[in-house]
């Protein structure tokens, strides 16, 4: 048992931390958010140059063979900076599906582009009726000669607007919620029959509603075994939870620290409000919620790195439950203690609150993961 980081991990953490501190101030971020694209291509290139886009991929795939702990370190810092570049969608979700289930050819076709920053991806897994059930899929993929024809509708596809390709979950057999019969396909966003309706999300990311109408793909678009896609999807989503959960831990750290600083300086009745015990205990509770979440983050990352089994799934769900609860508590109280200013878009606080709120929903909220935790 050892909670220390390797030298490489410390270097990685320091480099992301430096970027966030020096190049990603709140004003910089707000400028990026208001652009047409919604993220900075310059920053994306910087990520590529610094090697961050290749961290989770094996060395033979052009990456660095990083593990959950490495992703955790990156995402925690991204959370502190409230980074809007589509790292989650491209590297962790779409890239993750390829990493887990891709053939050598598929990896060769997509991973180098992800690692060098030239390709954007997205995971189109959710459907309007499905809530958090990954198997609740009505999108169909029917055999058509050597290939497949896809029809259906995918909801809230993160990074849909920028994506060059989608990893789509579709049903090759079985009924709407069957665990068997789910298959994954790599679909070019420029393919005939793919249409999108793009929009910004509450937390300043970009997403699309994607309609697939008689989209023809060849047999080599099938990612993983036919009908065997659900297990892959579940693992990718759990890696996504590890990522956004770590991001949430970074968000909470900023919120509790900024709130403490604010309350030390903001005066009422001739004294700093940070002197009032009722507010002090609230801030102590915020600090404790952050540490509690961080502790389960470490456990989840270490369990994931021991192998993706039931213990890892349980640790991921426990982490997600904690982050959902703590994120809500820390976010709400940061707004409350900042008073009216906490409500404004001018201050960073509300933006962190929005991101934490969305993170609770992403990949299953507290309610969902309490049940999943109990089932494992």
Size of the site for another protein (CB under 8 A): 42
Q: What's the maximum distance between 2 C-alpha atoms anywhere in the chain? A: 79
Asked if 59 touches another protein (CB under 8 A), the answer is: no
State which residue, 58 or 280, has the beta carbon closest to another protein. Answer: 280
Asked if 359 touches another protein (CB under 8 A), the answer is: no
Q: How far is the CB of 348 from another protein (least distance, A)?
A: 19
Asked if 131 touches another protein (CB under 8 A), the answer is: no
Per-residue DSSP letter, 269: T
Q: How far is the CB of 337 from another protein (least distance, A)?
A: 12
Give CA–CA dist 311/308, Å, rounded: 8
State which residue, 4 or 22, has the beta carbon closest to another protein. Answer: 4
Give CA–CA dist 86/159, Å, rounded: 6
End-to-end Cα spacing for the chain = 24
Asked if 7 touches another protein (CB under 8 A), the answer is: no
Beta carbons within 8 Å of 22's beta carbon, 6+ residues apart:
none
Q: Is 269 exposed, middle or buried (0-12, 13-18, 19+ CB in 10 A)?
A: exposed
State which residue, 5 or 26, has the beta carbon closest to another protein. Answer: 5
Q: How far is the CB of 281 from another protein (least distance, A)?
A: 5
Give CA–CA dist 15/73, Å, rounded: 10
Element (H, E) at 322: helix 310-338
For 13, 14, 137, 209, 294, the CA distances from 7, given in Å and listed in that order, are 10, 10, 44, 42, 21
State which residue, 40 or 333, has the beta carbon closest to another protein. Answer: 333
Asked if 354 touches another protein (CB under 8 A), the answer is: no
Q: Which residues are bridge partners to 267 per DSSP?
A: 272
State which residue, 211 or 292, has the beta carbon closest to another protein. Answer: 292
Asked if 373 touches another protein (CB under 8 A), the answer is: yes
- DSSP of 286-307, one letter per residue? HHHHHHHHHHHHHHHHHHHHH-
Asked if 104 touches another protein (CB under 8 A), the answer is: no
Q: Which residues of 66-83 are buried (b: 16+ CB within 10 A; e: fewer)?
A: bbbbbbbbbbbbbbbbbb
Task: Please tell me whether residue 119 adopts helix, strand or coil conformation.
Answer: coil
State which residue, 73 or 91, has the beta carbon closest to another protein. Answer: 73
Q: How far is the CB of 318 from another protein (least distance, A)?
A: 5
State which residue, 231 or 366, has the beta carbon closest to another protein. Answer: 366
57, 63 in Cβ contact below 8 A?
A: yes
Asked if 240 touches another protein (CB under 8 A), the answer is: no
Q: How far is the CB of 351 from another protein (least distance, A)?
A: 23
Per-residue DSSP letter, 279: H
Asked if 270 touches another protein (CB under 8 A), the answer is: no
Find the binder of another protein among 50, 109, 260, 343 (CB under 8 A): 260
Residues 276 to 335: which contact another protein by CB under 8 A?
A: 276-277, 280-281, 283-285, 287-288, 291-292, 295-296, 298-299, 301-303, 305-306, 315, 318, 321-322
Give contact residues for another protein (rule: CB under 8 A).
Answer: 1-5, 9, 69, 260, 263-264, 272, 274-277, 280-281, 283-285, 287-288, 291-292, 295-296, 298-299, 301-303, 305-306, 315, 318, 321-322, 367, 370-371, 373-374
């Amino acid at each position: 048992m050892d909670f220390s980081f390797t030298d490489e991990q410390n270097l990685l953490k320091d480099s992301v931390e430096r970027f966030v501190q020096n190049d990603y101030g709140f004003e910089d971020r707000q400028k990026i958010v208001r652009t047409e694209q919604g993220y900075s291509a310059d920053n994306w290139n910087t990520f590529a140059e610094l090697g961050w886009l290749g961290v989770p991929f094996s060395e033979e795939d052009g990456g660095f063979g990083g593990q959950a702990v490495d992703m955790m370190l990156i995402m925690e810092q991204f959370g502190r900076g409230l980074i809007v570049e589509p790292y989650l969608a491209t590297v962790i979700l779409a890239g993750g599906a390829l990493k887990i289930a891709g053939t050598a050819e598929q990896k060769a076709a997509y991973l180098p582009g992800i690692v060098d920053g030239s390709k954007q991806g997205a995971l189109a897994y959710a459907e309007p009726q499905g809530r958090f059930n990954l198997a609740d899929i009505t999108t169909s993929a029917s055999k058509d000669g050597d290939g497949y024809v896809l029809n259906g509708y995918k909801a809230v596809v993160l990074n849909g607007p920028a994506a060059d390709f989608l990893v789509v979950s579709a049903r090759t057999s079985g009924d709407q919620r069957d665990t068997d019969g789910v298959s994954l396909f790599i679909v070019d966003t420029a393919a005939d029959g793919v249409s999108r309706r793009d929009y910004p999300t509450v937390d300043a990311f970009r997403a699309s509603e994607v309609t697939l109408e008689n989209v023809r793909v060849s047999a080599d678009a099938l990612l993983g075994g036919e009908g065997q896609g659900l297990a892959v999807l579940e693992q990718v989503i759990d890696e996504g939870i590890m990522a956004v959960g770590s991001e949430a831990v970074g968000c909470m750290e900023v919120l509790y620290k900024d709130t403490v600083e604010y309350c030390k300086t903001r005066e009422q009745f001739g004294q700093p409000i940070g002197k009032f015990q009722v507010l002090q205990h609230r801030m102590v509770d915020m600090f404790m919620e952050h540490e509690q979440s961080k502790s389960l983050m470490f456990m989840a990352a270490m369990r994931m790195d021991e192998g993706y089994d039931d213990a890892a799934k349980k640790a991921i769900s426990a982490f997600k439950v904690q982050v959902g609860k703590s994120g809500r508590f820390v976010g709400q109280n940061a707004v409350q203690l900042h008073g009216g200013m906490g409500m404004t878009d001018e201050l960073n606080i509300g933006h962190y609150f929005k991101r934490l709120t969305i993170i609770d929903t992403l990949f299953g909220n507290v309610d969902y993961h309490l049940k999943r935790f109990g089932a494992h």
